Amino acid sequence: MRKGPPRLYLRIFLTLLASLLAAAAVFTGVQMWISPGERQAADAMAQVAEQALPPPDAAVADQRAALLRWRERRRGPLALYSADRELIASVGRELPALHPRQEETGPMKGSRNVYALKLDDGRWLLIRRPQARRMPHALLPVLLLTAVIVAFAAYPMVRRITRRLERLQGSVQSWGQGDLSVRVPVEGHDEVASLATSFNEAADHIESLVGSQKTLLANASHELRSPLARIRMAVELMQGEASPALREELVRNIGELDQLIDEVLLASRLDAPAGEALRTEKLDLSAIVSDECERAGAALEAVPALVDGDARLLRRMVRNLLENAKRYGGGAPVTVTLGADAGRVQLDVCDRGPGVPVEERERIFTAFYRLPGASEREGGVGLGLALVRQIAQRHGGEAQCLPRDGGGSCFRVTLPLARA
């Protein structure tokens, strides 16, 4: 079975969880790497340094003594450089030398932990950068535990929402496959419930329209049989008055009308929901095919093949295939092959007609569709192949049109073998 896209509830759940983890990571990074107000603090320190230190031309000893007095209050290493970038004095743990390319106040180049203050008189004061307050070690586990708790709490809620969507999806699929009676249970009062209500209302309306159309079609087809019978009787009575050509044309037209009514009624019954209109029994399909081939004068190569199905419908399917092959086969012999393999029965009805273009091989199974250029004089009402596919599908099979080597077409029907 082909693997489908990720479930909606998993996508919602994982998105929520990922958002929590991302927020925790951002919070951790902010706490570990950002020291707010560092530049403002450095500017204030530079102003204090200029007031606490002696002027640049004071003795080195005086400048060192002032630096020592300041360190007692600040409790950190300091280094004072002249405007010529020469070390005047340093106190505390030794700091890296002033970088030769340092041009302005800020973190010193080449040493992330040292801050360089450029004083107004040109001197430089190096200080150890204050360490950013790190997140307490216990906070990260707390954030992870919070994410786990939120995950367990959010999963049932997310799953409840998406389970209703899955039920709606299943109902829509069943409805699209022809079961117009399917409805969706309305749960809750949110957007999903509103969607289910809208679907049910639309399904009710469409089922009503389709039912009315089927009833009208069935009734009209049934009522047509009475005037058709009267016309047939009138043709019989006028045999001596009409020419043979006219009588033959009338008989042919009446036959087509009778076939059309019969096929419209059958198509209407096959449109019923699955399980209706089938009288299923175990059948030897080869016997049905053999009878129809003998009646149509087609060559047959068959093996015994048992299927579960409706004998009347399967016979109609085989007959339609043979009539279609004779009608469009250009007078050439029709060959039929019936085989069974891998749990399936395969029936091929092949002709030597002009063939069916690739782009038309699916459309010819549409009701009332004729190939471009097909003449109405050839007969047929455009329902034969549509009924073939409907009957095959109602029996769990499929029908398709294939090209035949050497010219012509093969219509293949596959059905499941009878259950043991």
Answer yes or no: do 304 and 357 share one domain.
yes
In-domain check, residue 218: yes
> Are residue 202 and residue 306 in the same domain, yes or no?
no
77, 90 contact by CB (below 8 A): yes
Distances, alpha carbon 119 to alpha carbons 81, 340, 377, in Å: 10, 99, 108
For residues 111 and 42, membership in a common domain is answered with yes
CA 231 – CA 254 distance, rounded (Å): 8
* Domain that residue 90 falls in: 38-128
28 and 44 in a common domain: no
Residue-level pLDDT, tens digit, the chain, 420 residues:
345 555 656 667 777 777 677 766 666 665 555 444 556 666 677 777 777 788 888 888 888 888 888 776 666 788 888 888 888 888 888 888 888 888 888 888 888 788 888 888 888 888 887 654 555 556 667 777 777 777 777 777 777 777 888 888 888 888 877 777 888 888 877 777 888 888 888 888 888 877 776 676 666 666 666 677 777 777 776 766 667 777 777 777 777 677 677 776 677 667 655 444 567 889 999 999 999 999 999 999 999 999 999 888 899 899 999 998 998 887 889 999 999 988 899 999 999 988 899 999 999 998 777 776 655 555 556 778 988 998 999 899 999 999 998 889 999 999 999 887
Range 386-403 burial, b when 16+ CB lie within 10 A, else e: bbbbbbbebbebebebee
Query: Residue 239 and residue 229: Cα distance in Å, rounded?
Result: 16
Main-chain phi, psi angles of 14, to 5 degrees = -65, -35
Contact 383, 269 (CB under 8 A): no
Question: What does the alpha-carbon distance between residue 87 and residue 207 come to, in Å, rounded to a whole number?
Answer: 95
Do 169 and 300 reside in the same domain of the chain?
Answer: no
Among 134, 129, 124, smallest CA distance to 39 is for: 129
Q: State whether 410 and 338 are in the same domain.
A: yes
- Final residue belonging to a domain, choices 222, 251, 270: 270
Answer whether residue 185 is part of any domain: no
Question: What distance in Å separates the CA atoms of residue 244 and residue 76, rounded to the nearest whole number?
Answer: 126
336 assigned to some structural domain: yes
CA dihedral 194, 200, 202, 206 (to 10 degrees): 180
The number of residues in the chain equals 420
Question: Last residue of some domain: 211, 235, 270?
Answer: 270
Does residue 245 sit in the same domain as residue 289? no
Nearest to 337 by CA among 356, 322, 316, 357: 322
CATH for 237: 1.10.287.130
Q: Are 97 and 172 contained in the same domain?
A: no
Distances (CA, A) of 298 to 5, 207, 290, 291: 50, 43, 9, 10
Asked whether residue 153 is domain-assigned, the answer is yes
C-beta separation of 196 from 164 below 8 A: yes
SS3 131: coil
Query: Is 156 exposed, middle or buried (CB count within 10 Å of its CB: 0-12, 13-18, 19+)?
Result: exposed
Give the domain-ending residue among 236, 270, 304.
Answer: 270
CA distance linking residue 163 with residue 8, whole number of Å? 9
**Residue 343 token pair:** 């749990």
Domain membership flag for residue 3: no
User: In terms of domains, do 343 and 404 share one?
Assistant: yes
Instruction: Look at the chain and report how many structural domains it folds into.
Output: 4
376 and 317, same domain (yes or no): yes
User: 357-384 b/e with 16+ CB inside 10 Å = b?
Assistant: eeeebeebbebeeeeeeeeeeeebbbbb
Contacts of 403 (CB under 8 A, 6+ apart): 355, 356, 409, 410
